[in-house]
């Protein structure tokens, strides 16, 4: 079939034009994750700002500062168990639309309050609203992309997390410096409307529901979706059949460990750069972005290779040990700039693991299971991760240094490496 005059096609196998509507799903996933992670990551910058901590009365309490992230992660993780089945029934479009709208409202409220209690309540409610994100996006990726494109598609939304973290540190630091911490929340609330608008016009629960998609693209997506997971037909039909699959639980444990290690990094690296390494406020904002630039590049380069080789579990194992070694090495060096560079290499390695684990879960589970399975994946991972920011703050209170907490993150990555060995033998 020749190219259409509209130019709205992408060339598939055998030179056949198949269309590119599924790319807009990847764009939406990217944008909604940028917004979500801006809303999450701003805490790492805010707790390094005396104006914010003085307003809430928590300047001398690192444990309470860490709890601002921990409460979000805990509630987010718990509600993920319910969000998966909800997304499966309501559909990803409606779930993500109303979820994103709630984030914008809550972010605006947080910019207007001074009570630590109210702020914690809003952070908890933000966790409830964002709980639909993982299951909803995972359902879209599995529905809209064939198996051979899923690690790359997952890389698109994960790149959104990196972009958010790249711009969050310098941009929010700049907003705080020139407009105060409250203004940073109001700007984030306005930005939060972007995925709402994009969802209304570009997202549909299934390719067959898209009003202008080419039939060739629908056929391409459906024919490349694979036959689902192994196991009995009854287990594949059951919404909770994935719980009998040991590969699923292996992916969950590895993702949970590395997700916790990554969130400990996100929350405390700005404070480490400013308080331990002694960088100025403006330098901290710029240098905090460097690890996420490296993470962005690594995801761009490596996720297509994982898809091509079909060896995602092997990559998770290798990247986990690299993360551990480089993170620990950063704590040993006495050079401030070398420490920043090695921290950046650590995040570059760790960033490859989440899209790999998500692709494994999407390949293991059937279409009737994927949203619920992703809810379990995110729920367990974030409940565990919720212990880390406050735990690292408590270690700081006890030892007087943030290095102790970063050594603990390196130890977690070693456990992920060891657990990845059995899965690495499989092509997941």
How many angstroms separate the CA atoms of 332 and 3, rounded?
Answer: 58
Q: Is 160 exposed, middle or buried (0-12, 13-18, 19+ CB in 10 A)?
A: buried
Tell whether 4 is covered by a domain. no
In a domain, 188, yes or no: yes
Q: Which of 287, 330, 409, 399 is CA-nearest to residue 63?
A: 399
Predicted local distance difference test score (pLDDT) of residue 236: 46
Domain assignment present for residue 7? The answer is no
Q: Please answer whether residues 280 and 333 qualify as being in contact, where contact means their C-beta atoms are separated by less than 8 angstroms.
A: no
Answer for the pair 72, 270: CB distance below 8 angstroms, yes or no. no
For residue 333, tell me if it sits in a domain.
Answer: yes
Q: How far apart are CA 284 and CA 60, in angstroms?
A: 20
Return the percentage of the chain with pLDDT > 70, whole number.
91
Domain for residue 207, yes or no?
yes
Mean pLDDT calculated for residue range 81-91: 86
Least confident of 4-8, 172-176, 420-424: 4-8
What ranges make up the beta strands (E) of 162-311?
none
d(CA 158, CA 260): 16
CATH assignment at residue 226: 1.20.1250.20
Is 73 within the bounds of a domain? yes
Contact 39, 126 (CB under 8 A): yes
Q: Which residues does 71 contact at the CB level (< 8 Å), separation at least 6?
A: 120, 123, 124, 127, 386
Mean pLDDT of the 335-339 span: 88
Most confident of 39-53, 81-95, 280-294, 314-328: 314-328
For the chain, the domain total comes to: 1
Q: Which two tokens stand for residue 392?
A: 């690292």
Please report which confidence band the pLDDT of residue 101 belongs to, taking 50, 70 and 90 as the band edges: very high
CA distance 71 to 43: 12
Q: How confident is the model at residue 8 (pLDDT cuts 50, 70, 90)?
A: very low
Bridge partner list, 17: 11
Q: Which residue has the tokens 């330098």?
A: 283
pLDDT value at residue 393: 81
- What are the residue ranges of helices labelled H in 310-386? 312-332, 336-350, 353-364, 370-385
Tell me the sheet residues that pair with 11.
17
Q: Is the pLDDT of residue 115 over 70?
A: yes
The number of residues making up the chain comes to 428
* pLDDT attached to residue 2: 38
Asked whether residue 321 is domain-assigned, the answer is yes
State the distance between the two ends of the chain, measured CA to CA, in whole angstroms. 34
pLDDT-derived band at 270 (thresholds 50, 70, 90) equals: confident
Please report the pLDDT score of residue 239 as a whole number.
65
Higher-confidence residue of 188 and 180: namely 188
Using an 8 Å Cβ cutoff, are 217 and 17 in contact?
A: no
pLDDT digits 0-9 by tens, 206-255: 888 888 888 888 888 888 776 444 444 444 455 678 888 888 898 899 99
* b/e burial code for range 380-389 (CB count within 10 A of at least 16 → b): bbbbbbbbbb
DSSP 17: B
Question: Could you please report the per-residue DSSP string of 190-258?
Answer: HHTHHHHHHHHHH--SSGGG-TT--HHHHHHHHHTS----SS-HHHHHSTTGGGG-HHHHHHHHHHHHH
- 258 contacts 353 by C-beta, under 8 angstroms: yes
Q: pLDDT class for 310, splitting at 50, 70, 90? A: confident
Question: Across residues 183-208, what is the average pLDDT?
Answer: 89
- Residue, of 105 and 179, whose pLDDT is higher: 105
- Residue 415: give the domain boundaries: 15-424
pLDDT number for residue 374? 82
Q: Is the pLDDT of residue 32 over 90?
A: yes
Average pLDDT value for the chain: 82
Share of the chain above pLDDT 90, in %: 17
Structure tokens at 192: 């939060």
pLDDT higher at 270 or 27? 27
pLDDT at 409 over 80: yes
Residue 183 located in a structural domain: yes
């Amino acid at each position: 079939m020749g190219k259409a005059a509209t130019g709205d096609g992408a060339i598939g196998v055998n030179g056949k034009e198949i269309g590119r509507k599924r790319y807009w799903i990847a764009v939406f996933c990217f944008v909604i994750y940028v917004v979500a992670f801006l809303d999450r990551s701003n805490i790492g910058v805010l707790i390094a700002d005396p104006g914010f901590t003085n307003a809430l009365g928590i300047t001398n309490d690192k444990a309470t500062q860490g709890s601002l992230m921990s409460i979000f992660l805990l509630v987010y993780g718990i509600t993920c168990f319910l969000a998966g089945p909800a997304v499966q029934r309501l559909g990803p479009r409606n779930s993500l639309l109303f979820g994103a709208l709630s984030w914008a409202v809550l972010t605006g409220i947080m910019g207007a309050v001074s009570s630590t209690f109210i702020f914690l309540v809003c952070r908890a409610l933000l966790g409830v609203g964002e709980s639909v994100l993982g299951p909803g996006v995972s359902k879209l990726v599995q529905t809209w992309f064939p198996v051979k494109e899923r690690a790359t598609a997952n890389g698109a939304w994960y790149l959104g997390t990196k972009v958010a973290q790249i711009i969050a540190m310098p941009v929010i630091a700049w907003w705080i410096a020139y407009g105060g911490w409250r203004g940073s929340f109001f700007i984030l609330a306005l930005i939060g409307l972007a995925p709402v608008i994009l969802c209304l016009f570009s997202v549909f629960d299934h390719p067959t529901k898209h009003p202008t998609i080419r039939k060739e693209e629908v056929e391409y997506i459906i024919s490349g979706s694979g036959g689902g997971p192994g196991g009995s037909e009854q287990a594949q039909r059951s919404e909770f059949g994935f719980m009998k699959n040991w590969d699923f639980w292996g992916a969950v444990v590895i993702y949970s460990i590395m997700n916790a290690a990554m969130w400990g990094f996100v929350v405390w690296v700005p404070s480490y750069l400013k308080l331990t390494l002694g960088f100025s406020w403006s330098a901290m904002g710029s240098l905090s972005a460097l690890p996420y630039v490296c993470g962005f590049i690594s995801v761009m380069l490596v996720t297509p290779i994982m898809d091509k080789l079909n060896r995602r579990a092997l990559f998770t194992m290798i990247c986990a040990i690299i993360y551990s070694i480089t993170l620990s090495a950063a704590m040993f060096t006495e050079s401030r700039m070398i420490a920043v560079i090695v921290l950046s290499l650590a995040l570059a390695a760790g960033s490859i693991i989440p899209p790999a684990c998500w692709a494994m879960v999407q390949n293991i589970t059937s279409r009737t299971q994927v949203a619920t399975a992703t809810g379990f994946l995110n729920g367990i991972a974030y409940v565990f991760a919720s212990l880390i920011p406050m735990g690292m703050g408590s270690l700081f209170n006890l030892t007087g240094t943030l290095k102790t907490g970063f050594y603990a993150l390196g130890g977690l990555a070693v456990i992920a490496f060891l657990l990845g060995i059995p899965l690495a033998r499989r092509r997941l």
